[in-house]
Structure 1
């Protein structure tokens, strides 16, 4: 089980549970086509963002296999939510988890996603006690796979044309890190 003790602070960010007050900030980037380009949802309307936010609010802790934890990333200097992190518990038996992240492009290039995602790894390894965390992305999503590389994750797979995504075949990259690799870099 994982019920984070919030807030989690980094030099520039506060990580916390989502609240209903986050709708405007979340909509500001969930509504952008360039944000949704490599995700499994289209740019969201305000109503779709509100529904997604309600789901995120309900994912405040991990209790069992198959659960997901949603974490809001707030920029401390503005108090605005600029990122959306997810930690999935994929297999309790095999102690496997998956990470996901979405950030407001207005904040790209400042290292904020790396700062936040490192805390997501910490929650997975130190909080949930997983053996292996992985992340997946479309091979064309260069910022996403570069983030995983900055985190110290290694590329484990390049799946060629494994999904028919938005009307075309796309490649998928899989990156992973083991708990012993996490401890070695800490």
Structure 2
């Protein structure tokens, strides 16, 4: 499956990390931390076993938007970069095609608390604005997922929405949700 990410130069290196497109061979590494309750609780899909996770992870549409985070050659997390169209009126809809992206992330808890998520998401935003030329990025989370929304704020995103009781969690029931965003001009002005 074609992806705008294929047009970029990989890997991307940061001070401590290497970020690269995911391959099917990354499924076991991702399963190792995504199966942990503290990570899985916030993931969209809870996979019962490694076989189901691998089938989902290796779908071409999923691989096309997944990046792996490595530290010293070990996978420590993953990122989602899903280009999408902005809302537009019909007459200008062509100018709104894939001008923004939804972002997502998950980290192995063994590597949390060292600033690696902040470093990786900052690099992801740079990829969006400087590499892909996007105009806007967005990210969503359950309001109770404080580590996620705090990360969004650390990387300069602003909370645009607080939706009351709009998000159904598999074990927590109806929860509030937060939406964050950042524009390219805000990124450049930081």
In the alignment, which of 68, 73, 77 is matched to residue 69 of structure 2?
73
Report whether the alignment pairs 1:102 with 2:102.
no
Task: Return the structure number with greater helix share.
Answer: 2
CA-CA distance at 1:57 after TM superposition: 8.4
| TM-score normalized by the length of structure 1 | 0.86
CA-CA distance at 1:122 after TM superposition: 1.1
**Structure 1's 36 and 58: CA in aligned 2 closer, same or farther, altered over 3 A?**
closer
1:91 maps to which residue? Answer: 85
Report whether the alignment pairs 1:173 with 2:178.
yes
SS at match of 1:117: helix
**Structure 1's 56 and 32: CA in aligned 2 closer, same or farther, altered over 3 A?**
farther
Report whether the alignment pairs 1:37 with 2:33.
no
SS at match of 2:9: coil
2:27 maps to which residue? Answer: 23
| TM-score normalized by the length of structure 2 | 0.85
How far apart are the structure 2 equivalents of 1:53 and 1:155? 29
How far apart are the structure 2 equivalents of 1:91 and 1:22? 28
How far apart are the structure 2 equivalents of 1:136 and 1:97? 12
Equivalent residues of 2:56, 2:62 under 8 A apart? no
SS at match of 2:58: helix
Matched residue count? 175
**Structure 1's 20 and 2: CA in aligned 2 closer, same or farther, altered over 3 A?**
closer
How far apart are the structure 1 equivalents of 2:62 and 2:177? 29
Equivalent residues of 1:132, 1:176 under 8 A apart? yes
In the alignment, which of 144, 161, 166 is matched to residue 162 of structure 1?
166
Q: Which runs of 5+ in 2 are unaligned?
A: 87-94
Q: Which runs of 5+ in 1 are unaligned?
A: 61-68
